[in-house]
Amino acid sequence: MSCITLLNISEAQDLLTYKTSESKILSEIPVETLPVFKFKGYSTGYELEKISKELAGTHPFGEMIAKKLYLFDEKYTTEVALAPGNPATKTIIKKPAIYESVKRIERDLKRSVKKGEIPVATATNEFNTVLDIGLSILTTDTKDFENALDSSRNTESKIDLFTKKVILNY
């Protein structure tokens, strides 16, 4: 009887040791989570109504995306004369990290649709969200968000950053 009791106690200690070492291994695996960015959002409907179809042009993702992209370019870029009297101008980009990221996302989404990797509706929805966020955050402090965009190398992570990690408060 005492042998069985001692054997059960040693097995219980082994099971406890096994569980503890396994739980330490699982808890040591780092989980990388990106921070959530909160910005104040606003509706661009009244500004989009003023943009004509001829002015915005066409876009593979539709007329609304063409208008939003035109508005995005208008808000983020300004033309400045190099010297008085000189017709040459220089384009200044406000928040270049955000501007370049949106342009890269547009280019890569167009390429993915053309190759048939993603449907047009999915690309349109993702790019619409990216443009809405890009238009809303122009006048706010976005240093941390821009640093996160610069640190993300591929387009999928930039899309995830725009669509899943940004919260707009209307």
- Closest to 158 (Cα-Cα) out of 143, 144, 168, 148: 148
Per-residue pLDDT at 21: 43
Same-domain pairing of 27 and 47: no
Q: Are 92 and 77 in contact (CB under 8 A)?
A: yes
Query: How many domains is the chain partitioned into structurally?
Result: 2
Same-domain pairing of 13 and 73: no
Give the pLDDT band (50/70/90) at residue 166: very high
How far CA 89 is from CA of 61, 92, 99, 100, 111, in Å, comes to 31, 10, 19, 20, 31
Packing angle between helix 120-136 and helix 96-115, nearest 10 degrees?
170
Same-domain pairing of 59 and 95: yes
Same-domain pairing of 85 and 23: no
Same-domain pairing of 16 and 46: no
Same-domain pairing of 59 and 25: no
Cα–Cα distance, 45 to 105 (Å, whole number): 23
Q: What is the pLDDT of residues 81-108, one digit of tens each?
A: 888 887 888 999 999 999 999 999 999 9
Same-domain pairing of 27 and 108: no
Cα–Cα distance, 7 to 9 (Å, whole number): 5
Same-domain pairing of 132 and 63: yes
Cα–Cα distance, 16 to 156 (Å, whole number): 43
Same-domain pairing of 62 and 113: yes
Tokens (6 digits) for 143: 């240093």
Q: What is the pLDDT of residues 101-152, one digit of tens each?
A: 999 999 999 999 999 999 999 999 999 999 999 999 999 999 999 999 999 8
The parent domain of residue 13 ranges over: 1-31
How do beta strands 77-81 and 89-93 pair? antiparallel
pTM of the entire predicted model: 0.76
Same-domain pairing of 121 and 137: yes
Cα–Cα distance, 161 to 167 (Å, whole number): 10
Same-domain pairing of 73 and 126: yes
Same-domain pairing of 109 and 137: yes
For residues 78 and 22, which has the higher predicted lDDT (pLDDT)?
Answer: 78
